[in-house]
Amino acid sequence: PAAFDMEYVVERFHGRSLALAHSQEEIEELNLKNNDDTITEENKFVRHGTYRVRKNRVIPSILQRDETIQSLTQSTMNKQKLIDEATRKVKEAESKAQDLSINIHLKEQLIKSVYVSTNDVQETNEQYQKHIKLLEKEMEKAKHEYQDLQKTMQQIASKNINEKSKFEAEYRKKCEMAKAHLDSLQQKEKQYRELMIKLNGNSEKRIADLQATLFRMKQQYETAQKRIREETEVKNKIEQELIREQQRIQELTIQNEQQQKILKLKTEGLVAAQRKLRGASNINSNDGITIPNFDIEMEKLISERKELETLRDDIQKREELIQKKELLLNEKTELETKKLRSSQILNKSLKINDKQQQQQQQPNHQIIREQLLQQKRLFTERLEEQNGILSPTEERRLIEVDEAIEAIDLAIDYQNNIISKRERDVQQSMRSSQGSDSALFKIGQLNENESRELCRKLFEKVVDLKEGDNKNRRDYEEIKSQLLEQTEIINDLQSRIQSLSLDHDRRLTSIQQLHEEEKQLLLGKLQESSNQIKQLEKDLYFYKHKTRELRKSMATSITNANDIPTQQTESNTNEYDQRKPRSAVEQQQSAPFLLKIGNRSNSAHQS
For 22-51, the pLDDT digits (tens) are 555 555 555 444 444 444 444 444 444 343
Residues in the chain: 607
The pLDDT tens digits for 485-502 are 898 899 888 888 888 888
**Rounded to an integer, what distance in angstroms lies between the CA atom of residue 186 and that of residue 193?**
11
Highest mean pLDDT out of 232-246, 334-348, 372-386, 417-431 = 232-246
Closest to 317 in 3D by CA, of 438, 207, 182, 416: 416
Average pLDDT over residues 555-582: 56
Highest mean pLDDT out of 96-105, 276-285, 331-340, 595-604 = 96-105
Is the predicted pLDDT of residue 584 greater than 50, yes or no?
Answer: no
pLDDT of residue 365: 44
388 vs 71, more confident: 71
Q: Are 357 and 368 in contact (CB under 8 A)?
A: yes
Q: What is the DSSP letter of 387?
A: T
Count of beta carbons in the 10 Å neighbourhood of residue 16: 14
Is the predicted pLDDT of residue 476 greater than 80, yes or no?
Answer: yes
pLDDT of residue 232: 87
33 vs 600, more confident: 33
**Rounded to an integer, what distance in angstroms lies between the CA atom of residue 16 and that of residue 278?**
13
Average pLDDT over residues 337-353: 62
Is the predicted pLDDT of residue 228 greater than 70, yes or no?
Answer: yes
Q: Are 81 and 188 in contact (CB under 8 A)?
A: no
Residue 342 pLDDT level (bands cut at 50, 70, 90)? low
Compute the CA torsion angle 83, 87, 92, 94 (nearest 10 deg): 140
Highest mean pLDDT out of 105-114, 136-145, 308-317, 358-367 = 105-114
pLDDT of residue 128: 72
**Rounded to an integer, what distance in angstroms lies between the CA atom of residue 114 and that of residue 125?**
16
Average pLDDT over residues 161-179: 69
The amino acid that residue 494 corresponds to is: Q
Q: Are 539 and 598 in contact (CB under 8 A)?
A: yes
Is the predicted pLDDT of residue 247 greater than 50, yes or no?
Answer: yes
Count of beta carbons in the 10 Å neighbourhood of residue 27: 19
Closest to 548 in 3D by CA, of 567, 576, 585: 576
Closest to 196 in 3D by CA, of 111, 115, 123, 110: 123
**Rounded to an integer, what distance in angstroms lies between the CA atom of residue 462 and that of residue 459?**
5
Is the predicted pLDDT of residue 530 greater than 90, yes or no?
Answer: no
Q: For CA atoms 92, 93, 98, 102, give the dihedral sign.
A: positive
Q: Are 166 and 123 in contact (CB under 8 A)?
A: no
